Amino acid sequence: MQGNGCRQALREITPGFADANGNLRLSPEELQQMEAALEEHFAAILRVLRIDPTDPNSADTPKRLARMWVRELFRGRYEPPPRCTVFPNRRKVSGLVMSRGIDVRSVCSHHWQPIIGQCTIGYVPDQHIIGLSKLNRVVEWFSRRGQVQEELTEQIADFLHEKLRPRALGVVLACRHYCMILRGVEGDQEQAVMVTAAWRGELAENAQLRTEFLRLAALEVPQHDVVR
- Which residues in 99-122 are b (16+ Cβ under 10 Å) and which e? beebebebbbbeeeebbbbbbbbb
Between CA 59 and CA 64 the distance in angstroms is 10
> DSSP letter string over 93-130?
--S-EEEEEEEEEEEETTT--EEEEEEEEEEE-SSEEE
pLDDT at res. 67: 97
Per-residue pLDDT tens digits for 112-143: 999 999 999 999 999 999 998 999 999 999 99
Task: State yes or no: pLDDT of 164 exceeds 60.
Answer: yes
pTM over 0.85: yes
Quickly state the pLDDT bin for 13 (edges 50, 70, 90).
Answer: very low
Task: State yes or no: pLDDT of 223 exceeds 80.
Answer: no
Mean pLDDT for all residues in the chain: 88
pLDDT at res. 189: 61
Sign of CA dihedral 133, 138, 141, 144: negative
Domains of the chain, start order: 3-78 (1.10.286.10), 86-217 (3.30.1130.10)
